[in-house]
């Protein structure tokens, strides 16, 4: 296995491990309106992004599949990584359901992991798609109009 693909799988593993830890530490019995709101918004954005991305060759790793196409509509019109945004929004809902220093560390580590994943993925997307650089100048990474 190539070093790049190994790195991709490592990032995915860490991402899912941290989401799982946040889920385990979440107090699901005492979710309030705000927690449900973040969880619902995260799920909604994630499902929307997956639905739009179905036209391309979606992968769980940041590697670009052969024959993939650059999607620039739906949530991808505003964000280059709406699935990662969805993960962070959903995870924030879990974080605030049972806020401890430990869960805050898990959330921060998740953000850092996704940042590494984004950086690596964008490097691959720039190599794979001629128009990606122009697209990236028009859209934000994770937060519309901000970042």
Higher pLDDT, residue 70 or 28:
70
Q: What's the rounded mean pLDDT across residues 12-35?
A: 92
pLDDT tens-digit readout, 29-72 = 888 899 999 999 999 999 999 999 988 877 888 998 888 999 99
pTM recorded for the entire structure: 0.92
Looking at residue 101, what is its pLDDT?
Answer: 93
pLDDT of the residue at 1: 57
| Model confidence pLDDT, tens digit, residues 76-99 | 999 999 999 999 999 999 999 888
- pLDDT at 27 > cutoff 90: no
Contact (Cβ atoms closer than 8 angstroms) between residue 40 and residue 66: no
pLDDT at 67 (0 to 100): 86
Q: What is the pLDDT of residues 102-122, one digit of tens each?
A: 999 999 999 999 999 999 999
- The whole-chain average pLDDT of the chain stands at 92
Q: Report how far apart, in Å, the C-alpha atoms of 69 and of each of 2, 51, 53, 128, 131 are.
A: 23, 14, 9, 9, 11
Burial (CB < 10 A; 0-12, 13-18, 19+), residue 48, is middle
């Amino acid at each position: 296995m190539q070093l790049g693909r190994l790195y991709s799988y490592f990032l995915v593993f860490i991402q899912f491990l941290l989401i799982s830890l946040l889920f385990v530490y979440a107090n699901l019995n005492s979710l309030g309106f705000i927690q449900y709101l973040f969880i619902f918004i995260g799920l909604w954005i994630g499902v929307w992004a997956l639905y739009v991305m179905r036209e391309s060759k979606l992968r769980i790793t940041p590697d670009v599949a052969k024959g993939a196409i650059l999607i620039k509509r739906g949530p991808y019109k505003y964000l280059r990584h709406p699935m990662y945004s969805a993960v962070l929004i959903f995870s924030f809902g879990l974080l605030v359901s049972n806020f401890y220093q430990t869960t805050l560390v898990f959330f921060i580590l998740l953000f850092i992991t996704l940042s590494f994943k984004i950086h690596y993925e964008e490097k691959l997307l720039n190599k794979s798609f001629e128009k990606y650089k122009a697209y990236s100048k028009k859209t934000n990474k994770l937060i519309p109009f901000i970042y």
